[in-house]
Every structure is written in structure tokens, then in C-alpha cells.
A and B are shown apart, each in its own frame.
Chain A
């Protein structure tokens, strides 16, 4: 398995609070991605990174921001959590843009 960890694995928070999820990789892969998984939607891309300090938006980026200050870490921040952001969040990595993506174990987030 690719060396990808996500923290926390589970989190319960209240509407309006900031939340940061962390993805850590030990593979030295260039590309990192954040997805959210919701029933009936599969996985949808939130943001991705193609290098340190290089990030861009995915299809469902509203309400989310990201940062990548080191190759191994990719942070996802919900500035002010809403109930619609209750979801399972997956981090993924790949060595090249079109290469296979490898997924972390996921973070289950509940916003009350």
C-alpha cells in the first residue's frame, strides 16, 4: 500500500467552526488531491496540488482551501464548516498527472 495517512480519521464539529484535515505521504509523489465522497456522487475533486505551493481548484472547491508547504503534506481547511460539508474526505497521490492515483484511508467528518 502507498504510504498515505490522513488525520484525524473521524471528527465531529459544529457549524461555523474551522476544520483542518491533514494528508501525509511518504512516497515523495508530486501530485496530491483532496476528494469528498457522498452517496450517489462517487468521489468529487475538491482541490489538487502539482507541487509545493502549487495548488488549483477542483469541481467542488467552494468553502474549502488548501495548502502545501512541504512535498509530504497537503492540508484541507474548511474555513467555516457547514452541514453540507458532512462527508468522507479522501486524499490521493500520484507520481504523474495521468498516472494512477493512490488513496488514503479517509476522514469521516460530521458537521452538526
Chain B
């Protein structure tokens, strides 16, 4: 079955530490990949996306993500976390379906807490 997995429900890091949020997908072809961030009480904001080309993509707020086809992964990274990065992060994947509609499938999210 086509799915998106974010293995970590909650992550806590210290301010200034590095961060990696994991995302794995199950899909037979090359997907379109996204990371969104949601601050409390807010909508979702796009951090970055991968459609094709260089497998290391840069996003806003100092985030980057790397597409690894062999591992079916699209992990999000940041070298130094700021307190304002505390939020919930969603990985999302467009996977083609037999009906022709390419639907955006979300992972369950990873909630990031940042200690001062």
C-alpha cells in the first residue's frame, strides 16, 4: 500500500543542536516530495519540495532535505536549531493512482520541541 511514515512522533532537541526528521514512503515510482511546517494554531507552510534533479534541496528557514531513492527516504535536516523552530513537521508525497488523480499523502507528523 502507498504510505508515508514519519517514525518519530515527538523529538526534543537543545537550541543550537542539529536536527534530522525522518520520512519514508512506500511507492513504486519516483514521487514528488514535500516538507511542511505547522506552528500551533496555524496552517501549513511549505518548507521545501523535490520534484527532480539534485537530490539535496534547500528550503526556507535554513532547512534542507535529501532524497535517497534506494532508501525511499526524504529526511529533513537543519544544522543548528532555533527556539522558533518548535512546531509540527509533516512530510507529504504525491503518488500517482490508477484513477489518474495524483493525491498528496501526508505522514502523521513529528512534533519538535526545543529546549533553551
Contacts and interface: CB of A to CB of B under 8 A. Distances in A.
- In terms of DSSP, what is the predominant structure of the interface of chain B? strand
B43 A101 contact: no
Contacts, number: 45
B109 A90 contact: no
Interface string A73-110: 00000000000000000100000011011111110000
Interface string B34-65: 10100001111110010000000000000000
A43 interface: yes
Nearest to A105: B43
Contact of A41 (B45, B101, B104, B108): B108
Contacts of B44: 43, 90, 103
Query: For chain A, which range describes its interface: under 10, 10 to 19, 20 to 34, or 35 or more residues?
Result: 20 to 34
Interface residues of B, number: 23
Nearest to A91: B43
Contacts of B101: 48, 56, 97
B102 A97 contact: yes
Interface string A35-46: 000001111110
B25 interface: no
Given A97-B101, A98-B94, A44 B106 contact: yes
B43 A104 contact: yes
B69 interface: no
9 contacts: A40-B9, A42-B106, A43-B92, A44-B106, A48-B101, A102-B46, A103-B36, A103-B43, A106-B42
Interface of B: 4, 9, 32, 34, 36, 41-46, 49, 90, 92, 94, 101-104, 106-109
**Closest 8 A/B residue pairs (Cβ):** A42-B106, A103-B43, A103-B44, A43-B106, A105-B43, A42-B108, A98-B102, A40-B108
